[in-house]
Structure 1
Amino acid sequence: MAKGTRANAALDKAGIAHGLHAYDYSADVDSKGVAAAQALGIAPARMFKTLMAWVDKQPVIAVIPSDQRLSLKKLAASCSGKHAQMMEIPEAERRSGYKVGGISPFAQQRPATILFADDVQLHTSVYINAGQRGLLLDIAPADALHFLQARCADILEG
């Protein structure tokens, strides 16, 4: 079994129920989230990816289904901002303390506003990166939202 991470240690400390699931990570796939869902035999809609962005120069973490695309316009509007753009990889890694492909919204090094796509509420549990490539955690959406002090918003394209 894979070792724990800052993310699952923080959840353990808070008494938040969650599971850990290791899989064979590959950087050579188009959609890492969809590949992870396939590796675990779950629907891609239950596999959520963590994206780092800026909204009017403020850091924002967007957590969306792996088979969907983030709407930067909706993200900006959801944060009462005018402009959103994706964070560059080196900055995302510095701010989160995790490597791309293993970024978790849990236990990031620097605080940021966290938004989940509304779709998270459709599931009893979702899978989110645990802070290490090839390691996911499953958690009840309500527990994730409460622990992260996050909110849901319409941030998906389409």
Structure 2
Amino acid sequence: MTPAILFLEKQKATFTQHQYECTTLDDFGAHAAEQLQVPPEQVFKTLLTEGEQGPVVALVPSSGKVNLKRLAKAAGVKKLDMMPPAKAERLTGYKVGGISPFAQKKRLPTVLDASASHYPCVLVSGGKRGLSVAVAAEVVQNLLGAVVADIAE
């Protein structure tokens, strides 16, 4: 049981767990989509960025990447850069490839790509490699206080 699953249960959120065999060392979102047989646009990766004002979490489809300028604008900051993986692991308490947006060590500003609303649910990491959770975009938005914006490209 990961902190993310415990958090979702404690919040009484509606979600489903999806386990799969994780056999990759990169592009975890695309791998999850393939293993779970869902469109890569429906599997969202959790990316950590940082700037002078601190870290910002971006949730974008695994089929694309984050536009840092649009993310910074949505987060209300001047500039953001990708966070080094080791720093993201220390900050969130999760390993790369299993970083969940839920139950990170510290609640961080989060921006969810607007495309999430195109699906009844999106899949995000459940807190470890090989575990995804399917949740409605509104659940992500409400539980994390996430801003919704067009941040993917």
Give the structure-2-normalised TM-score.
0.95
Q: Per-residue deviation at 1:10?
A: 0.6
Q: Note if contact 1:55-1:79 (Cα within 8 Å) is conserved in structure 2.
A: no
1:101 matched residue in structure 2: 97
1:128 matched residue in structure 2: 124
Structure 2: where are the runs of 5+ without partners? Answer: none
Deviations 1:11-52 (A, max 9, x none): 1011101111111112345x2211110111111111000000
Q: Does 1:25 align with 2:22?
A: yes
Q: Note if contact 1:26-1:32 (Cα within 8 Å) is conserved in structure 2.
A: no
Q: Percent identity?
A: 35
Q: Does 1:114 align with 2:110?
A: yes
Deviations 1:54-101 (A, max 9, x none): 133411000000001101111112122221101111110011100001
1:137 matched residue in structure 2: 133
1:80 matched residue in structure 2: 76
Structure 1: where are the runs of 5+ without partners? Answer: none
* Residue in structure 2 matching 1:48, options 44, 52, 65: 44
Q: Note if contact 1:50-1:64 (Cα within 8 Å) is conserved in structure 2.
A: yes
2:32 matched residue in structure 1: 36
Q: Which runs of 4+ in 1 moved over 4 A?
A: none
How many residues end up aligned between the 2 structures?
Answer: 153
Q: Note if contact 1:126-1:140 (Cα within 8 Å) is conserved in structure 2.
A: yes
Distance 1:28 1:92 in 2: 16
Distance 1:89 1:34 in 2: 18
Change (3 A) 1:90 1:57: farther
Q: Note if contact 1:76-1:84 (Cα within 8 Å) is conserved in structure 2.
A: yes
Give the structure-1-normalised TM-score.
0.92
Amino acid of the residue matched to residue 20 of structure 1? Answer: Q
Distance 1:75 1:141 in 2: 17
Q: Does 1:7 align with 2:4?
A: yes
